[in-house]
A and B are shown apart, each in its own frame.
Chain A
């Protein structure tokens, strides 16, 4: 094993950390441009902030990887208006989301709901982190066993090792003189 390279678990750890970090940071840093126009906005700031909150969770179904808050597509615009119409009519956030889910399916939600067929998706990141911890611990333990010596070396071998060590030290002393 080459010692000057970082351990593979360290690399994997950094990679996972980087991916999670990037996922958390991008909406805050990049999501500044949005497609909402002034005439779409509601006069009531509370309702408008709820509309924005809901729009960020809803997928633009024709662009597929944008929220309706970000998308310029006509369908996204219609869905934004639908959300606002229902808010003005006094619907709760949950009722609006479940209404659109009944029409477009779970796919309309950017975050897939926790259900039996999505449980693997939700638990996979936790599973990978646990797997990484297990591999790291396993490798550390094995490295520790090699360092401390497990006592399986015979006394004859031990004598040869000691002789070689002495010879090595003597050679080193001679070199440094």
Chain B
């Protein structure tokens, strides 16, 4: 009856194991190292998809990202209907002093985009129109705002889904830009 049975400890070991895994996941989420909703882009290291989008100012001319090759580039998907894009506008304005930024207006009307830029500033060197959202799909876009850092060879080296906060810029974007 009182014989020592190792199987008695199996539930305890199983529980301990689950508790350790759960604890580790919770710890890394709370400390901000892990964000389950941020999925890495599979396009990292790949060439930018060149979509030949019509420009905001002139629909006959197409946006050619290839023209920017040889310099680092920030591509920012935004929309006038997107609230976080408004919050992000000052940060983009500041960044535009350090790096060329190309904007892609995602599923937006030209008149709305123009109004948005008048109100919140225009940090963009060029703006392409992705009226039906197809370019978004080709870029693997989740939503707006979303920002891609392009290296001098025209490859995507970093992506951020969501607004560029001060924290994201200082801890991720600026170190990435320094590496280019």
Contacts and interface: CB of A to CB of B under 8 A. Distances in A.
B23 to A, nearest CB: 21
Interface in B40-94: 40-43
Given A62-B143, A75-B143, A105 B39 contact: yes
A19 to B, nearest CB: 17
A78 B140 contact: no
Contacts of B143: 62, 75
Contact of A78 (B39, B41, B42, B137): B137
A103 B41 CA distance: 8
B138 interface: yes
The size bracket of the interface on A is 10 to 19
A82 B42 CA distance: 19
B17 interface: no
Given A103-B42, A107-B39, A61 B142 contact: yes
Contacts of A74: 107, 133
Interface string A102-143: 111101000000000000000000000000000000000000
Nearest to B107: A74
A105 B42 contact: yes
A78 B136 contact: yes
Nearest to B10: A135
B34 interface: no
A78 B43 contact: no
Given A62-B142, A62-B143, A82 B137 contact: yes
A79 interface: yes
B124 interface: no
B154 to A, nearest CB: 17
A103 B133 contact: no
A105 B133 CA distance: 18
A75 B136 CA distance: 9
Contacts of A107: 39
B137 A79 contact: yes
Contact of B140 (A62, A64, A82, A104): A104
B100 to A, nearest CB: 24
A78 B133 contact: yes
B5 to A, nearest CB: 11
A78 B142 CA distance: 11
Nearest to B139: A103
Contact of A103 (B37, B39, B40, B140): B140
22 contacts: A61-B39, A74-B133, A75-B133, A75-B136, A75-B141, A75-B143, A78-B132, A78-B133, A78-B134, A78-B137, A79-B137, A82-B137, A101-B42, A102-B42, A103-B137, A103-B138, A103-B140, A104-B42, A104-B140, A105-B39, A105-B40, A105-B41
Interface of B: 37, 39-43, 107, 132-134, 136-143
